[in-house]
Structure 1
Amino acid sequence: MSSEIIKGLPRFAMAFQPIADTMTGAVFAQEALARGRDGEGAVSVFDKVPQSRRHLFESLCRQRALEAVKEIGLGETRISLNVSPEAVLDPEFGILETIRVARTLGLHERQLILEFTEKQKTADIRAIRDLIIPFRKRGMMVALDDFGAGYNGIQTLLELKPDVVKFDMGLINRIDTCEMQQTLISSLAEACSRLDIIVVAEGVETLPQARMLQSMGIALMQGYLFARPAVGLLPAPAEAVMAKLM
C-alpha cells in the first residue's frame, strides 16, 4: 500500500503468539497480533484508527503479518489472521485482498487460518461463508475467535461451520477451580468434537488450568503460560511447560 494511503494511521508492528499442541509438543499455528510502538495491545492500537479506515487498517495488519512470516520463514506452520466479520466482504480491503497478497508472497491457502472475532456483531454470515468456500476447498481454515464472549456464538457457529473454535479466556480463567465452568467447557468441547470442530483454549496462564483442559480432551492451548506475543520472530512454546504437560 502506498504511503499516501496509510498516512495518518498509527505506527505498529505485528507480533506472533503460538497455539501449542500440549499432547505432541508441536505448534498448531501462530496468531498475528497488532502491537503499538511502545508495545500497546491491539485494542489500544485500533482505538487510534478512525472508524472509516478500520477495514483498510485491518487489511494492512494482515499484509504486514504475511510479509513478516515470509521473511522469518513460516515453514509448515499455519498463520492465523484476525478479521472482523463486517470487513470480510469489503471489495477493496477485505479477505480477497489478503488472499491476493498471500499468493503474491508465495503462501498457500492451506497455511492460513482466518479468525472471525465474536466480540463484534456478525454481518451477513451466509454471504461470508459463500465467499470463502473456494479458499476453504484449497485448505484455508476458518476459526471462530472469542467464543463465549460475543454476540451470536451458537448461531454463528451453526451458520459459519468453522474448522476451529477458540474458547474465550473468560471461560478458562477459573477452569481449575470452578465446577460450573468445568461442566460448561466439557460439554462444549464434546459438542465440538462431534461436529469435527477443533477446540483451542485461549488465555491459559497456569499449569492447573492446562492440566484440567487436558483432562477434558482439549490439547490446543494459547496463552502466557506458553509464550507471550513476540515481534520479529515466531516464538516456540516454553520447553519447561511443555515437558510438564506431555
Structure 2
Amino acid sequence: MDIPVQIKQQSCMDCLSGQSLGFEIKMAFQPIIDWQQKEIFAYEALVRGPEGQGAGWVFERINDKNKYYFDQSCRVKAIETASRLGCDRLLSINFLPNAVYNPETCIRATIEAATLFHFDLEKIIFEVTETEEIINQEKLKRIFESYARHGFRTAIDDFGSGFAGLEWLYSLRPAILKLDMTLIRDIHLDEAKQQRLAAVQQVCRELGAMILAEGIEVEEERDFLVNAGIRYLQGYLFARPALEHLAGQDEINGWQ
C-alpha cells in the first residue's frame, strides 16, 4: 500500500532535522573513480557534524538508544544532499548492521526518501564497515539478501581489518568489496600484501564481485593496483571528502 506523501515528508524531514539525535548531521562526499574509463564511478557519503566536524565527533554522540535513528538519519541525509547537489552517479551509503532492527523497515525509509527527493533507487549502494563488531552474522546475511532482492548493490567496507574472512564472502556475496587501507598502504613494497590481494581477487572472480581499493595515497600504490587489475579506486591521492560538495571530473588528481 502506498504511503501518503505528507507522511513521507514528515518522516524524512524528522530525520533531516536531527531533533531526535540532539544535533544536526551533514554529509561529505568522496569520489570513487573508474580508472579504466577515467571517470567518476560513484560518491561515498560520509557523516559529519553540523559545522563539518569529523566522523569521530559524531560517533562520540551515538549510543544504543539513538543508533537506529542515527542510521536512518544518515540514509535520508545522504540521499537528500546528493539529490540537492545534482548527483548523477552511484551513491554509497554506510549502514550500521547492529542498528538495523528489520531490513524491510529500513528499506521502506530509504524508498520514501528517494521518492521524496527524486533520487534514483538503482544508484544506491549500501556498505557495511567490516570494523563494526557483528553481533549476529546470520542477521547481516539476511540484511544483504533483503537489499539485493530490492535491487540495491551491497558492499563490505574496510575488508581486511575486521570480522570477514575470505570464507565469509561466500556467505554474504557482496556486489562490491572495498579493500581496507591497511592492505593498500605500501602494497607495492610488501609481498605478503600482494599475495593477500591475489587471494581476494580469486574469490571475487568466483563470486562476480567488484573490487574497490580505498585509502590510496601515493602514485606507487595506485600503479601497482592498476597493474594488478584493480579498476575502481578511492583515496586522498585523487580527492579528499568535501562537505556538501560533489567533486567534478576536473577536480580529481592522479589521473596520469
Structure 2 length-normalised TM: 0.84
2:148 partner amino acid:
R
Determine the C-alpha separation between the residues in 2 that align with 1:153 and 1:62.
27
Determine the C-alpha separation between the residues in 1 that align with 2:193 and 2:109.
40
187-196 vs 94-103, which moves further: 94-103
- Give the secondary-structure state (helix, strand or coil) at the position aligned to 1:214: helix
Whether contact under 8 Å (1:110, 1:139) holds in the other structure is: yes
Q: Is structure 2 residue 39 aligned with structure 1 residue 36?
A: no
- Give the secondary-structure state (helix, strand or coil) at the position aligned to 2:188: coil
Q: Is structure 2 residue 82 aligned with structure 1 residue 47?
A: no
**Alignment CA distance shift 1:183-1:156 (3 Å):** closer
2:190 partner amino acid:
C
1:95-134 equivalent positions in 2, closer than 5 A: 95-131=107-143, 133=145
Whether contact under 8 Å (1:189, 1:216) holds in the other structure is: no
Describe the superposition over 1:139-159 as per-residue Cα deviations: whole angstroms up to 9, x where unpaired: 310001111111233354222
92-101 vs 47-56, which moves further: 92-101
Any gaps of 5 or more consecutive residues in structure 2? 1-12
Determine the C-alpha separation between the residues in 1 that align with 2:206 and 2:112.
34
228-237 vs 58-67, which moves further: 228-237
- Give the secondary-structure state (helix, strand or coil) at the position aligned to 1:100: helix
213-222 vs 90-99, which moves further: 90-99
**Alignment CA distance shift 1:155-1:121 (3 Å):** farther
Determine the C-alpha separation between the residues in 1 that align with 2:96 and 2:167.
17
1:41, CA displacement in angstroms?
Answer: 2.1
1:236, CA displacement in angstroms?
Answer: 3.3
**Alignment CA distance shift 1:208-1:156 (3 Å):** same
Determine which of 41, 66, 79 is the counterpart of 2:91. Answer: 79
The RMSD of aligned alpha carbons is 2.4
Determine which of 3, 14, 19 is the counterpart of 1:6. Answer: 19
Determine the C-alpha separation between the residues in 2 that align with 1:128 and 1:151.
12
Whether contact under 8 Å (1:89, 1:95) holds in the other structure is: no
Determine which of 14, 18, 21 is the counterpart of 2:34. Answer: 21
Determine the C-alpha separation between the residues in 2 that align with 1:72 and 1:94.
24
47-56 vs 95-104, which moves further: 95-104
Q: Is structure 2 residue 161 aligned with structure 1 residue 149?
A: yes
**Alignment CA distance shift 1:176-1:47 (3 Å):** same
Whether contact under 8 Å (1:164, 1:200) holds in the other structure is: yes
Whether contact under 8 Å (1:119, 1:146) holds in the other structure is: yes
Partner of 1:57: 70
143-152 vs 99-108, which moves further: 99-108
Determine the C-alpha separation between the residues in 1 that align with 2:170 and 2:46.
27
142-151 vs 175-184, which moves further: 175-184
Provide the aligned length of Structure 1 versus Structure 2: 242
Identity value in percent: 33
Determine which of 127, 136, 159 is the counterpart of 2:171. Answer: 159
Q: Is structure 2 residue 255 aligned with structure 1 residue 235?
A: no
- Give the secondary-structure state (helix, strand or coil) at the position aligned to 1:80: strand
Whether contact under 8 Å (1:118, 1:152) holds in the other structure is: yes
Whether contact under 8 Å (1:20, 1:29) holds in the other structure is: yes
